Structure formats: C-alpha cells, structure tokens
C-alpha cells in the first residue's frame, strides 16, 4: 500500500526555512508563484496516478524552477568555433575601454543631448561623429542603430520616388531577410537594375542615368562571390561618371574595415577611407563587423547629404542609443591611438600568429592529455568576407560521440560552442578570449570525466 501523504499547502512550504531562505535571491512574490506552479504540477500528476513527492523533492523542484526562471536567456558563451564574426554569437566582442565607457556614462546621467559649454540642449549625433570624420577623412558622419537601417534611411532621405541604379550582381540578400531590392522598395526608391549577374559595364551605368536614375547605389557582395567571366567598373570610374551628371554615389560597404584586410592576411578590400577617396559620396557600414565595435549603422560622407538624412523623419526611429555611442566612441579611440590590433578583440583575433595559435592548442592538449593538434582554418564569418579563412591550429578531440560531447559542452554555466568535423570536436584558440581559457579547460576536463 502506498503511504498516504497529503499534498503540502502553499503556506506550510513557505514557512520551511529552506524556502524562506530563498527570499534574498528571489523575493517573496516570486517564490509564492513558483511554489504554486510546482504544487499545481504535482496535483495534476497525482490525479493521473503518480505518487506525491516527498517534501525534499518538492523543495528541490521549487529551487530548480526559480533557478531556471532567473537564468537570463542572453548568456555569455565561449566561442571555440574560430568564426571571428559569428552573427549567432553576437558578432564582435567589445574592447575593454568600450565596456568602461558604457559603465561610466550609463550608470548615471550623461551629456547625451546636453551641451556643457552653453548649458543647454545639445546634439546626440556629435558624439562619435568627430572621431569618425577624423579616422575616415569624411566631411560628416551619422550613427544609427544598424547598417540595414543606415542603407534604408539613406535611400529614404535621398531617393524617395526617385530611380536608383544598381548592378544585378549586387542585388544581395545578407541574411536575416535583408534583401537589397526589398530595402530599396521599402525606402520608396525605384529600383533600376542594370547589367547582368556576372557582368556590368560603365555603359550600363551611363544608360541608367540617361533613363533618369538620380542616385547610384553600390552594395558589397559581402557573403558570396561571383567568379569566372565577370566584369565590373572600378569605383573611381563609377563615381567619375555619376559626378559628371551630378548624381550621388552611395556605397553599402557592409563590413566596413578601417584597416585594410590585406594587412591582416586576408584578401585586399576597400577600406572606408579608400571608398571615400575613390569618390563615394556616402559610405554605410556596420559597427559590429570588421570594425569590432557595438551594433551600429555608420554613415560617412558629404555634409550636404548627411544633413538631409539627419533631417528625415526615419532618423528618429533609427538613431543610436547612448550605450552604442559610448562603446563606439571608445572603440574608435583605440583606432585613433593606433592600438586596435592589441585592444579591439576582432582585430586582435585576426592578427594572431600561427605559431602562437599552435603553441596554445599544444598547451591545451598537454593540460587535457587528450586529442591532437592539427592544422585548420578559421572563418571570418558575419557576412563579412565571402569564404575567407585564415590558417589556424586546432585541438581535435575524439570523444565517444562528438554530438553528445558538444551537447555537454553547451550545458555549462558558460556554455562552450565548438565545431564538429569528421566526428571530431574541433576547438580553435583564435576566438577564445584570454580570460575564458581557464574555465574552458576546467570544463573540458569535466566533460571528459563524464564520458
């Protein structure tokens, strides 16, 4: 015979020292609701024939529920994938000074829209603008929430109901549903597609201008590559042509590097500065791709055009918040000081030397007494540089089941995200931040001990 145990009341549970001891962490009201939730669940389980759990079990369930409910869904993770700009993992990790700037300006009040010298209302968009113009050589700059917003806003302000010429090779989808043709339509611009998927000539641009195009849009191919029988006029050629007809050229550069990727061992690509030098009137780029800052859409270029964009009603709904402006300014300062390769994590990760990565993977191997150090590739990712990788050294682990081992790695308090290839778990030191290494190794040991 089953021992008949009554289901405890809410009050009796709340009076238990183990439950009331949770007050400090969760507060009374939250605990009451968790107790009720657990008791409701027990009642329905009992009515379907299950036995009533012991008091200890009930306490455990309440504690577990509170723990689950209080765990943030947005958690810090260890990125051992080697993908430097991993959109699913939050793209660029911030530099220390960016974090300090956020804390310093956002724990209290700030001069977000306050002019100290005049003691009255100031402008929010001056904050990063000065640094941006200094670094890129642009006349003016404006920061909005993200680059998709920047492109949309620029087109809405400059090309509403006007024809915009764009090459068919640049009608890209960036991911997350950002499609250049759709953004153009939403902004009110009229799409004037020119050329073909693989070849667009200067004459195609000229024809588009004859057909009434009033703006030329260029979009970086970012996440794909057209190879083989291809042709496209150079940026100076396009801008010279457009300027002859007094048309502005807007370049959606996507990643927008301030440092030439070639100096980091990647394929050469136009920097923001070079794009402006080659005549682009406006350049739009992301804050959290190769720049390595917070999520932002940055527009730099001619003052006259920037002023028009600032005056558009959409600007208000897309403007950057103070956390972003604080972090972006601090990140830009690192560039201005020439420190970015050491202090901005994205640049530091891309700059790592192979010998150094190999030594680090070797240290992991000897510490764990498991796996082999093998040569591999780190992807740049983030829709930044199509298919581009950097040589790296990996620690390859051979657990019984790579899939299950990876699952275990994701359950740690600071989850570890790793790649699987050929049934091996691959760990790339390139993207593991220095202060995460101890936790990484300790948890890998635990994961192995559970094999």
In the complex, which residues of this chain contact ligand PLP (CB under 6 A)? 146-148, 151, 174, 178, 219-220, 222, 252, 254-255, 286, 297, 383
> Whole-number minimum distance, CB 21 to ligand PLP, in Å?
46
> Whole-number minimum distance, CB 69 to ligand PLP, in Å?
31
> Whole-number minimum distance, CB 299 to ligand PLP, in Å?
12
Between the CA of residue 421 and those of 60, 156, 326, 378, 417, what are the distances in Å?
Answer: 39, 45, 40, 13, 13
> Whole-number minimum distance, CB 154 to ligand PLP, in Å?
11
> Whole-number minimum distance, CB 223 to ligand PLP, in Å?
7
> Whole-number minimum distance, CB 18 to ligand PLP, in Å?
47
Q: Report d(CA 344, CA 299) in Å as an integer.
A: 21
Q: Report d(CA 423, CA 120) in Å as an integer.
A: 63
> Whole-number minimum distance, CB 285 to ligand PLP, in Å?
8
Q: Which is nearer to ligand PLP, 194 or 253 (CB)?
A: 253
Q: Which is nearer to ligand PLP, 250 or 416 (CB)?
A: 250
> Whole-number minimum distance, CB 200 to ligand PLP, in Å?
17
> Whole-number minimum distance, CB 65 to ligand PLP, in Å?
36
Q: Which is nearer to ligand PLP, 93 or 254 (CB)?
A: 254
How does 382-419 read in b/e, with b if 16+ C-beta sit within 10 Å?
Answer: bbbbeebebebbbbbbebeebeebbebbeebeeebbbb
Q: Which is nearer to ligand PLP, 94 or 440 (CB)?
A: 94
> Whole-number minimum distance, CB 294 to ligand PLP, in Å?
10
Q: Report d(CA 207, CA 226) in Å as an integer.
A: 23
Q: Which is nearer to ligand PLP, 148 or 213 (CB)?
A: 148
What is the 3-class SS of the chain, one letter each residue? CCCCCCCCCHHHHHCCHHHHCCHHHHCHHHHHHHHHHHHHHHHHHHHCCCCCCCHHHHHHHHHHHHHHHHCCCCCCCEECCCCCCCHHHCCCCCCHHHHHHHHHHHCCCCCCCEECCCCEECCHHHCCHHHHHHHHCCCEEEEECCHHHHHHHHHHHHHCCCEEEEEHHHCCECCCCCEHHHHHHHCCCEEEEECCCCECCHHHHHHHHHCCEEEEEEECCCCCCCCCCCECCCHHHHHHHHHHCCCCEEEEEECCCCCCHHHHCCCCCCCHHHHHHCCCCEEEEECCCCCCCCCCEEEEECHHHHHHHHCCHHHHHHECCHHHHHHHHHHHHHHHCCCHHHHCHHHHHHCCCHHHHHHHHHHHHHHHCCCEEEEEEEECCCCCCCCCEEEEEEEEECCCCHHHHHHHHHCCCCCEECEEECCEEEECHHHCCHHHHHHHHHHHHHHHHCC
Question: Which residue's C-beta sits nearest to ligand PLP?
Answer: 254
Q: Which is nearer to ligand PLP, 53 or 256 (CB)?
A: 256
Q: Which is nearer to ligand PLP, 286 or 392 (CB)?
A: 286
> Whole-number minimum distance, CB 30 to ligand PLP, in Å?
36
Q: Report d(CA 396, CA 401) in Å as an integer.
A: 13
Q: Which is nearer to ligand PLP, 254 or 371 (CB)?
A: 254
> Whole-number minimum distance, CB 219 to ligand PLP, in Å?
5
Asked whether 91 and 85 are in contact (CB, 8 A), the reply is: yes
Q: Which is nearer to ligand PLP, 194 or 427 (CB)?
A: 194
Q: Which is nearer to ligand PLP, 92 or 440 (CB)?
A: 92
Q: Which is nearer to ligand PLP, 8 or 149 (CB)?
A: 149
Q: Which is nearer to ligand PLP, 131 or 219 (CB)?
A: 219
Asked whether 382 and 84 are in contact (CB, 8 A), the reply is: yes
């Amino acid at each position: 015979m089953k021992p008949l145990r009554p289901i405890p009341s809410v009050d009796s549970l709340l009076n238990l020292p183990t439950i009331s001891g949770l007050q400090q962490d969760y507060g009374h009201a939250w605990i009451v609701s968790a107790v009720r939730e657990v008791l409701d669940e027990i009642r329905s389980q009992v009515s379907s024939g299950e036995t009533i759990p012991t008091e200890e079990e009930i306490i455990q369930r309440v504690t577990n529920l509170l723990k689950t409910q209080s765990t943030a869904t947005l958690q810090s993770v260890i990125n051992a994938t080697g993908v430097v700009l991993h959109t699913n993992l939050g793209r660029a990790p911030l530099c220390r000074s960016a974090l300090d700037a956020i804390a310093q300006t956002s724990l209290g009040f700030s001069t977000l829209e306050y002019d100290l010298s005049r003691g009255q209302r100031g402008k929010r968009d001056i904050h990063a603008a000065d640094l941006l113009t200094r670094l890129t050589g642009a006349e003016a700059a404006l920061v909005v929430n993200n680059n998709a917003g920047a492109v949309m806003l620029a087109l809405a302000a400059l090309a509403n109901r006007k024809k915009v010429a764009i090459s068919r090779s640049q009608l890209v989808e960036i991911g997350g549903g950002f499609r250049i043709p759709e953004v153009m339509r939403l902004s009110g611009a009229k799409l004037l597609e020119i050329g073909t998927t693989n070849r667009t000539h200067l004459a195609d641009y000229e024809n588009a201008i004859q057909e009434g195009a009033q703006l030329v849009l260029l979009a970086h191919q970012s996440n794909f590559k057209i190879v083989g029988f291809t042709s496209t006029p150079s940026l100076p050629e396009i801008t010279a042509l457009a300027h002859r007809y007094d048309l502005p050229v807007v370049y959606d550069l996507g990643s927008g590097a301030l440092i030439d990727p070639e100096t980091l061992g990647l394929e050469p690509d136009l920097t923001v500065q070079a794009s402006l030098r080659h005549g682009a009137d406006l350049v739009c780029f992301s804050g959290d791709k190769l720049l390595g800052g917070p999520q932002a859409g940055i527009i730099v270029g001619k003052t006259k055009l920037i002023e028009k964009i600032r005056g558009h009603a959409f600007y208000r709904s897309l403007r950057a918040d103070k956390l972003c402006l604080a972090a972006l300014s601090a990140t830009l300062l690192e560039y201005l000081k020439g420190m970015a390769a050491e202090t901005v994590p994205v640049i530091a990760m891309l700059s790592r030397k192979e010998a150094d990565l190999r030594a680090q993977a070797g240290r992991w191997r000897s510490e764990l007494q498991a796996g082999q150090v093998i040569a591999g590739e780190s992807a740049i990712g983030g829709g930044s540089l199509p298919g581009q990788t950097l040589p790296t050294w990996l620690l390859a682990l051979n657990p019984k089941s790579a899939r299950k081992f990876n699952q275990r790695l994701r359950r740690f308090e600071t989850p570890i995200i790793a790649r699987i290839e050929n049934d091996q778990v691959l760990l790339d030191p390139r993207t593991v931040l220095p202060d995460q290494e101890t936790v990484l190794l300790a948890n890998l040991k635990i994961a192995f001990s559970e094999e």
